[in-house]
């Protein structure tokens, strides 16, 4: 009887088991059918009806042949996981699906997987919130990082998981929440990864109780307050990473106890105090505390750390010397201690093991020489020691470092010459050596450094000729050799550097003729050859260049000024060349005698044409002036009569006299020099501030001339610069909050003044990129983007006739005291002539390198869409925080191609967003960047209008934080509301 019972029991157990085994197969085959992977993968070949489920690839069973683990990590799987059936596997303990492309929501059914010890869904493409998993109280490992989960994470589920050893939920776009106190109850935790998941508030009390922690990371959040003292109890930590938060206070006392630390990164916080607590952390391999307010000296002990490979402490307030033995022990990789107040010399042995890639110590007060040891450091890619007090000779081998991409020694007192070793510098893209005491000749071997994109050797004592071989540098974009002692002629071969956009050879002793080949540069934007001994005629080709700066003044040029350069002649670019003559009766140039080069027929034709144009223009001018005078007379009544005798032309009611303005045009009030004139800041007796732009009408550069009392209306048309006319014409009829306000113009025979409102916060360029920069938060940047877009929209669509700005750039966007933007500088603006056809317009083309739309390169026909392109570049500056041209953009050289490349790359547009923009705004920033990408499309027709741009930007409006609520549990919760929605 007992035996029979046993048989029965066995039988029933067996049938139960086989039923389950049958179910298992169903469940796994169901899983297989829910997932897809690459056609060529053999992953699921073993998952068929003939095999035992326990021999399915990735499946593990226990001794009862019940499935315990499914491990399909990193198999390029797509599809959604069927938790409803999966969780019916009765013995399932481990699910590993990390590093795939799984998508969809994780369903509530996962709560049935109550036996799970190990769950890895990290690095996938899920969406929606992650469900409450309180029933999974056996979990030891939970990996959900970088998986697309959003909303609120169910932190309270953790309270039930007292056995949890590793928790990783970072890199998910969760809603803003205080740092979860729940983790404090996870006493066994050895790994906690909470970076980049929108956490705020302070670290919870009790974090120091998690003494099993070996890795602790919560970087890229909004955590505030001080590092709690109890953190020093985490003696087992080997990795502690908390960069990019807003921690304040000091590195806590006792931090020195964390002797196991190998990797420590507290960068981009607001920590203060000194680094003395770090001096016993002798096991550190990587030490990073850049962008804090740390002061004091770098402990000398750090120089004895035997395993240290990287040290990054830039942008602090550190003083004293760099430990001289730093980096001399292990395979040291890089040092960046730039932008501190460090003194002493550069440690000599950081490349002892031959692995160093970056030596970055710029902007300190370092003295002594560049140690010769670095000439042998073939691994070095970046050598930047600029803006220090370094002296002595640059070790010749430095110039030949085979892997160096940038050599930046500018703003020191270094001597020596550019050595012929440079022939070996095959990867060198930038030489920055401005303002040193380099001497000798530029070696012919520079022609072998064929990766060069930019060379700046200006303000040194370099002599001899510019090497003929320079033409070999096909990628060269920028060549600055000004203020040296160069002689000989400009090599004709320079014409083969087809990428050149920026040439400054001024203030040397160059002689001979200007090579005709210079006129054939497609991309040239800036050409300064002034203050040399150049002779001969101006090559005709130069007339066809489209330059934002063109200066041939103070040479010995002769012959007629080409017709197309008449405008240049007016603004002084040709002055100081007594041998030049003018065909068109340009003031201050003698008339060309009839014997000069051209055939009589052509001359006659040109003269006829010129006379006809002048007649036509002056008729038109007189007509317009009479008309305006009449209108103004009507508008202003008596005022206009007075005005006439004062040669003031006002567009707003004035509270000052022109005498007050004229008296203030003095050197000490100079605040800027633009392409077309100087800008002065004028404080009136009533305290009001104005900005005054001074434009010389003829080529009288820096001498003050007496002001004529001729009325502007009586001034000869030929006496004023065209830029002046353009600007006045464009601005006088414009009134918009986002366009700079022009109060009046004051003119004399030889110069003109434009009186504007003064904007105290300078230009957007200054705010973003120069030493006057200040942190612009995302909301401010966004407001600037929208405001500037509206200003430009008004110019294009709001006036009687569209006004092209033609030099849209961040330095032409000024900011008022509330940082509201105003479009400024219409020096190049032209009102689109109604009779020239709506979308084609011919004129002098200019602009600024980095902002110029590609169509300028191949056609003179440009329209509003070219402004849209330039505005797109401004948007990119706002979102990326970078300049339009940066060395880091590499071969592509400008921001537009860099951003477009990002957009196409796997990392995506978001990787281009300024890291200072908080995570919660990243999405909006990306939207703005996407608009910028549209604006900078190659085909003008496909770019949006400014009207559409304004629309798109308004759609990207950031959340407005309207309050902080203290919730029941004491945590803070920011409440965000989109004002528009
Ligand atoms: C947490 O675990 C306890 C038992 O350990 C259980 O009674 C409780 O239901 C669990 N909580 C939830 C929300 O499932
Ligand atoms: C931060 O998280 C987002 C998702 O919220 C992710 O796309 C991004 O790559 C993460 N950043 C880093 C540096 O991993
Ligand atoms: C941390 O541990 C101490 C001592 O064991 C205990 O008194 C304290 O309550 C713990 N703190 C928290 C928040 O768990």
* Whole-Å CA distances, 656 to 271, 577, 662: 50, 40, 11
Q: What's the confidence (pLDDT) of residue 112?
A: 95
Q: Which two tokens stand for residue 321?
A: 């010397």
Is 934 strand, coil or helix? helix
Most confident of 563-567, 637-641, 791-795: 791-795
**Percent of the chain beyond pLDDT 70?**
78
Asked if 449 and 422 count as a contact pair (C-beta separation under 8 A), the reply is yes
Mutation pick for ligand 3 pocket among 206, 208, 210, 970 (CB with most ligand atoms within 8 Å): 206
Q: Which atom in ligand 1 lies closest to the alpha carbon of residue 157? A: 13
Q: What's the confidence (pLDDT) of residue 430?
A: 93
Which listed residue (807, 867, 894, 914) is catalytic?
Answer: 807
Architecture per CATH, 645-758: 2-Layer Sandwich (3.30)
Most confident of 54-63, 762-771, 969-978: 54-63
Pairwise CA distance, residues 231 & 255, whole Å: 8
Crossing angle of helices 864-880 and 946-955, in 10° steps, is 30
Measured in Å, residue 133 CA sits from the centre of ligand 1 at 10
Q: Which residue has the tokens 């050797």?
A: 457
Residue 487 in contact with ligand 3 by CB distance below 6 A = no
- What's the average model confidence in pLDDT over 369-383? 96
550 pLDDT band (50/70/90 cuts)? confident
Q: Which atom in ligand 3 lies closest to the alpha carbon of residue 206? A: 13
Residue 206 in contact with ligand 3 by CB distance below 6 A = yes
Pairwise CA distance, residues 898 & 880, whole Å: 11
Nearest Cα residue to atom 13 of ligand 1:
134
Cα angle value 598/604/609 (rounded, 5°): 115
Q: What's the confidence (pLDDT) of residue 766?
A: 84
Crossing angle of helices 946-955 and 919-935, in 10° steps, is 170
Q: Which long-range contacts (CB under 8 A, 24 or more apart) does 210-214 make?
A: 210/183, 210/184, 210/186, 210/234, 211/235, 211/236, 212/187, 212/188, 212/236, 213/189, 213/237, 214/190, 214/238, 214/239, 214/260
* Whole-Å CA distances, 74 to 58, 60, 123, 157, 518: 11, 17, 9, 27, 56
Residue 242 has pLDDT above 90, yes or no: yes
Nearest Cα residue to atom 8 of ligand 3:
206
Residue 185 in contact with ligand 3 by CB distance below 6 A = no
Q: What's the confidence (pLDDT) of residue 596?
A: 45
Number of H-type helices and E-type strands within the chain: 14, 49
Measured in Å, residue 207 CA sits from the centre of ligand 3 at 9
Asked if 884 and 895 count as a contact pair (C-beta separation under 8 A), the reply is yes
Query: Is the backbone of residue 902 left (phi > 0), alpha (psi -120 to 50) or beta?
Result: alpha
- Is residue 588 classed exposed, middle or buried when 0-12, 13-18 and 19+ CB atoms within 10 A define those classes? middle
Nearest Cα residue to atom 12 of ligand 3:
206
- pLDDT, tens digit, 9 for 90 and up, residues 125-148: 999 999 999 999 999 999 999 999
In the chain, the N- to C-terminal Cα span, in Å, equals 78
Q: Which atom in ligand 3 lies closest to the alpha carbon of residue 204? A: 13
Pairwise CA distance, residues 384 & 673, whole Å: 29
- Is residue 7 classed exposed, middle or buried when 0-12, 13-18 and 19+ CB atoms within 10 A define those classes? exposed
Residue 138 in contact with ligand 1 by CB distance below 6 A = no
Asked if 682 and 655 count as a contact pair (C-beta separation under 8 A), the reply is no
Identify the H or E element spanning 480: strand 478-480
Residue 937 has pLDDT above 80, yes or no: yes
Residue 186 in contact with ligand 3 by CB distance below 6 A = no
Write the DSSP string, 516-558: GGGGG-SS--EEE--SSEEEEPPPGGGGG---SEEE--SSEEE
- pLDDT, tens digit, 9 for 90 and up, residues 103-116: 999 999 999 999 99
Pairwise CA distance, residues 865 & 796, whole Å: 10
Residue list for the binding site for ATP: 693
Measured in Å, residue 210 CA sits from the centre of ligand 3 at 10
More confident residue, 151 or 598: 151
Short-list 328, 379, 372, CA closest to 358: 379
845 CA to centre of own chain:
26
More confident residue, 772 or 586: 586
Q: Which two tokens stand for residue 666?
A: 């003095």
* Whole-Å CA distances, 15 to 3, 62, 77, 241, 621: 18, 18, 35, 54, 106
Ligand having the closest approach to the CA of 195: 2
Nearest Cα residue to atom 2 of ligand 2:
171
Look at the chain and count its residues: 981
Write the DSSP string, 782-823: HHHHHHHHHHHHIIIIISSS-EE-S---GGGEEE-TT--EEE
- pLDDT, tens digit, 9 for 90 and up, residues 307-330: 999 999 999 999 999 999 999 999
Asked if 372 and 349 count as a contact pair (C-beta separation under 8 A), the reply is no
Residue 472 has pLDDT above 70, yes or no: yes
Residue 675 in contact with ligand 3 by CB distance below 6 A = no
Ligand having the closest approach to the CA of 198: 2
- pLDDT, tens digit, 9 for 90 and up, residues 653-708: 667 777 777 777 777 777 776 555 677 888 887 778 888 877 765 433 333 333 32
Asked if 327 and 361 count as a contact pair (C-beta separation under 8 A), the reply is no
Q: Which atom in ligand 1 lies closest to the alpha carbon of residue 156? A: 13
Pairwise CA distance, residues 744 & 751, whole Å: 14
646 pLDDT band (50/70/90 cuts)? very low
Mutation pick for ligand 1 pocket among 137, 138, 154, 162 (CB with most ligand atoms within 8 Å): 137
- What's the average model confidence in pLDDT over 597-623? 48
Asked if 443 and 463 count as a contact pair (C-beta separation under 8 A), the reply is no
Residue 208 has pLDDT above 50, yes or no: yes
Residue 820 has pLDDT above 80, yes or no: yes
CATH code: domain 467-590 is 3.80.10.10
- pLDDT, tens digit, 9 for 90 and up, residues 395-413: 999 999 999 999 999 999 9
Q: Which two tokens stand for residue 135?
A: 């029933």
Query: Is the backbone of residue 980 left (phi > 0), alpha (psi -120 to 50) or beta?
Result: alpha
| Interacting residues of 112 by C-beta distance below 8 A, sequence separation 6+ | 83, 87, 88, 135
Measured in Å, residue 202 CA sits from the centre of ligand 1 at 28
- Is residue 641 classed exposed, middle or buried when 0-12, 13-18 and 19+ CB atoms within 10 A define those classes? exposed
Residue 641 has pLDDT above 60, yes or no: no
Q: For domain 763-981, give the fold.
A: Transferase(Phosphotransferase); domain 1 (1.10.510)
Lowest-confidence segment of 17-21, 245-249, 409-413, 666-670 by average pLDDT: 17-21
Backbone angles phi, psi at 767, to 5 degrees: -65, -35
Measured in Å, residue 137 CA sits from the centre of ligand 1 at 7
Mutation pick for ligand 3 pocket among 209, 231, 969 (CB with most ligand atoms within 8 Å): 209
971 pLDDT band (50/70/90 cuts)? very low
Asked if 473 and 503 count as a contact pair (C-beta separation under 8 A), the reply is no
Q: What's the confidence (pLDDT) of residue 328?
A: 95
Paired residues of 692 in beta bridges = 680, 755
Q: What's the confidence (pLDDT) of residue 774?
A: 66
- What's the average model confidence in pLDDT over 581-609? 61
- pLDDT, tens digit, 9 for 90 and up, residues 706-748: 332 222 222 333 345 565 666 676 667 778 889 888 888 777 6
Measured in Å, residue 912 CA sits from the centre of ligand 2 at 12
Q: Which two tokens stand for residue 845?
A: 């083309």
Q: CB count, 10 Å around CB of 413?
A: 13
Nearest Cα residue to atom 6 of ligand 2:
171
| Interacting residues of 282 by C-beta distance below 8 A, sequence separation 6+ | 259, 301, 304, 305, 306, 307
Backbone angles phi, psi at 766, to 5 degrees: -60, -45
Lowest-confidence segment of 247-261, 541-555, 620-634 by average pLDDT: 620-634
Short-list 800, 791, 855, 794, CA closest to 823: 791
Residue 183 in contact with ligand 3 by CB distance below 6 A = no
Write the DSSP string, 701-712: -S---PPP---G
Q: Where are the alpha helices (DSSP H) in 936-970?
A: 946-955
> Is 969 an annotated catalytic residue?
no
Q: Which atom in ligand 2 lies closest to the alpha carbon of residue 174? A: 5
Residue 604 in contact with ligand 3 by CB distance below 6 A = no
Write the DSSP string, 156-171: GGGGG-TT--EEE--S
Identify the H or E element spanning 379: none
Identify the H or E element spanning 12: helix 2-34
Residue 73 in contact with ligand 3 by CB distance below 6 A = no
Residue list for the binding site: 693
Nearest Cα residue to atom 3 of ligand 1:
160
Paired residues of 61 in beta bridges = 67
21 pLDDT band (50/70/90 cuts)? low
Mean of per-residue pLDDT scores for the chain? 82
521 pLDDT band (50/70/90 cuts)? confident
Pairwise CA distance, residues 870 & 872, whole Å: 5
Q: Which two tokens stand for residue 504?
A: 């400054």
Residue 134 in contact with ligand 1 by CB distance below 6 A = yes
Q: Which two tokens stand for residue 208?
A: 């120091």
Q: What's the confidence (pLDDT) of residue 594?
A: 59
Most confident of 168-177, 549-558, 728-737: 168-177
The answer to pTM > 0.75 is no
Residue 337 has pLDDT above 60, yes or no: yes
Is 770 strand, coil or helix? coil
Measured in Å, residue 392 CA sits from the centre of ligand 2 at 46
Nearest Cα residue to atom 7 of ligand 2:
171
827 pLDDT band (50/70/90 cuts)? low
HSE value, Cβ hemisphere, 13 Å, CA-based, for 516: 3
Asked if 60 and 37 count as a contact pair (C-beta separation under 8 A), the reply is no
Q: What's the confidence (pLDDT) of residue 722?
A: 61
886 pLDDT band (50/70/90 cuts)? confident
The 8-class DSSP code of residue 388 comes to S
Q: What's the confidence (pLDDT) of residue 772?
A: 61
Pairwise CA distance, residues 665 & 18, whole Å: 99
Short-list 940, 955, 882, 879, CA closest to 913: 879
Dihedral sign (CA 636, 642, 644, 650): negative
Pairwise CA distance, residues 194 & 645, whole Å: 73
Pairwise CA distance, residues 660 & 849, whole Å: 37
Is 602 strand, coil or helix? helix
Q: Which two tokens stand for residue 292?
A: 């804090």
Ligand 2 pocket list (CB less than 6 A): 171-173, 196
492 CA to centre of own chain:
36
Nearest Cα residue to atom 14 of ligand 3:
206
Mutation pick for ligand 1 pocket among 108, 111, 131, 135 (CB with most ligand atoms within 8 Å): 135
Measured in Å, residue 343 CA sits from the centre of ligand 3 at 46
Measured in Å, residue 184 CA sits from the centre of ligand 3 at 9
Measured in Å, residue 267 CA sits from the centre of ligand 3 at 29
Q: What's the confidence (pLDDT) of residue 276?
A: 97
């Amino acid at each position: 009887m007992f035996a029979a019972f046993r048989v029965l029991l066995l039988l029933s157990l067996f049938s139960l088991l086989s039923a389950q085994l049958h179910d298992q197969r169903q469940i796994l085959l169901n899983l297989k059918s829910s997932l897809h992977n690459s056609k060529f993968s053999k992953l699921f070949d073993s998952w068929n009806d003939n095999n035992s489920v326990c021999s399915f690839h990735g499946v593990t069973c226990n001794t009862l042949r019940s499935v315990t683990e499914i491990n399909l990590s990193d198999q390029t799987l797509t599809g959604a996981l069927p938790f409803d059936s999966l969780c019916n596997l009765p013995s399932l303990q481990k699910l590993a699906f990390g590093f795939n492309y799984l998508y969809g929501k994780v369903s509530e059914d996962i709560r049935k997987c109550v036996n799970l010890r190990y769950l890895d869904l990290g690095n996938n493409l899920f969406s929606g919130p992650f469900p409450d998993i309180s029933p999974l109280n056996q979990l030891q490992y939970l990996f959900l990082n970088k998986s697309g989960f959003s909303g609120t994470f169910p932190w309270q589920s953790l309270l039930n998981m007292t056995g949890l050893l590793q928790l990783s939920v970072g890199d998910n776009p969760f809603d803003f929440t205080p740092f979860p106190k729940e983790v404090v109850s996870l006493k066994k935790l050895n790994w906690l990864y909470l970076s980049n998941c929108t956490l705020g508030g302070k670290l919870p009390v009790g974090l120091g109780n998690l003494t099993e922690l070996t890795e602790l990371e919560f970087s890229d959040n909004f955590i505030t307050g001080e590092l709690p003292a109890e953190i020093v109890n985490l003696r087992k930590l080997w990795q502690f990473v908390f960069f990019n938060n807003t921690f304040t206070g000091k590195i806590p006392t006792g931090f020195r106890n964390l002797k196991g630390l190998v990797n420590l990164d507290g960068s981009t916080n607001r920590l203060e105090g000194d680094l003395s607590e770090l001096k016993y952390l002798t096991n550190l391999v990587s030490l990073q505390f850049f962008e804090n307010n740390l002061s004091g000296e770098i402990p000398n002990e750090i120089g004895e750390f035997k395993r240290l490979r990287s040290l990054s402490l830039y942008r602090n307030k550190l003083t004293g010397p760099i430990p001289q033995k730093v980096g001399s022990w292990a395979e040291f990789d890089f040092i960046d201690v730039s932008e501190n107040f460090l003194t002493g010399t550069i440690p000599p042995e950081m490349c002892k093991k031959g692995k160093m890639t970056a030596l970055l110590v710029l902007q300190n007060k370092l003295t002594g020489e560049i140690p010769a040891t670095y000439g042998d450091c073939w691994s070095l890619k970046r050598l930047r020691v600029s803006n220090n007090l370094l002296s002595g000779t640059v070790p010749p081998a430095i110039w030949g470092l085979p892997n160096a991409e940038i050599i930046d020694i500018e703003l020191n007192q270094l001597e020596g010459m550019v050595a012929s070793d440079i022939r070996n510098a095959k990867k060198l893209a930038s030489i920055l050596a401005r303002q040193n005491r380099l001497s000798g000749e530029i070696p012919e071997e520079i022609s072998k450094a064929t990766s060069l994109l930019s060379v700046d050797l200006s303000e040194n004592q370099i002599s001899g000729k510019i090497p003929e071989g320079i033409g070999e540098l096909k990628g060269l974009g920028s060549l600055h050799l000004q203020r040296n002692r160069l002689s000989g002629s400009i090599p004709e071969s320079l014409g083969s550097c087809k990428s050149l956009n920026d040439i400054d050879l001024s203030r040397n002793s160059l002689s001979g003729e200007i090579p005709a080949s210079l006129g054939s540069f497609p991309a040239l934007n800036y050409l300064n050859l002034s203050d040399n001994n150049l002779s001969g005629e101006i090559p005709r080709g130069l007339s066809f260049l489209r330059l934002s700066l063109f200066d041939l003044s103070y040479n010995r040029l002769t012959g007629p000024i080409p017709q197309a350069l008449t405008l240049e002649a007016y603004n002084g670019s040709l002055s100081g060349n007594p041998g030049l003559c003018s065909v068109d009766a340009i003031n201050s140039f003698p008339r060309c005698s009839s014997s000069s080069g051209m055939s009589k027929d052509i001359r006659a034709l040109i003269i006829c044409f010129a006379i006809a144009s002048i007649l036509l223009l002056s008729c038109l001018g007189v007509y317009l002036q009479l008309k305006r005078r009449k209108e103004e007379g009507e508008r202003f009544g008596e005022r206009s009569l007075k005005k006439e005798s004062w040669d003031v032309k006002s567009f707003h009611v004035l509270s000052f006299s022109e005498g007050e303005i004229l008296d203030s045009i003095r050197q000490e009030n100079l605040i800027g020099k633009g392409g077309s004139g100087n800008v002065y800041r004028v404080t009136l007796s009533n305290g009001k501030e104005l900005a005054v732009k001074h434009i010389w009408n003829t080529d009288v550069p820096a001498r003050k001339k007496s002001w004529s009392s001729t009325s502007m209306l009586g001034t000869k048309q030929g006496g004023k610069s065209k830029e002046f006319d353009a600007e006045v014409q464009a601005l006088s009829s414009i009134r918009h909050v986002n366009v700079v306000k022009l109060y009046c113009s004051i003119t004399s025979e030889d110069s003109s003044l434009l009186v504007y409102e003064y904007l105290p916060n300078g230009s957007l360029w200054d705010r973003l990129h120069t030493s006057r920069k200040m942190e612009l938060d995302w909301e401010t940047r966004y407001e600037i983007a929208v405001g500037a877009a509206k200003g430009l929209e008004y110019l294009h669509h709001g006036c009687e006739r569209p006004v092209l700005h033609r030099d849209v750039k961040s330095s032409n966007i000024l900011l008022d005291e509330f940082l509201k933007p105003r479009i400024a500088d219409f020096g190049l603006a032209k009102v689109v002539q109604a009779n020239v056809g709506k979308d084609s317009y011919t004129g002098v083309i200019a602009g600024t390198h980095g902002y110029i739309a590609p169509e300028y390169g191949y056609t003179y026909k440009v329209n509003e869409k070219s402004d849209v392109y330039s505005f797109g570049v401004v948007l990119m500056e706002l979102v990326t925080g970078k300049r339009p041209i940066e060395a880091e953009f590499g071969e592509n050289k400008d921001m537009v191609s860099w951003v477009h490349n990002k957009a196409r790359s796997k990392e995506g547009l978001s990787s281009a967003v300024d890291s200072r923009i908080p995570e919660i705004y990243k999405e909006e920033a990306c939207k703005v960047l996407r608009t910028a990408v549209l604006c900078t499309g190659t085909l003008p027709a496909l770019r949006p209008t400014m009207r559409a741009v304004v629309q798109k930007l308004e759609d990207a409006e950031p959340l407005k934080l309207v309050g902080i609520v203290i919730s029941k549990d004491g945590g803070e919760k920011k409440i965000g509301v989109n004002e528009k929605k």
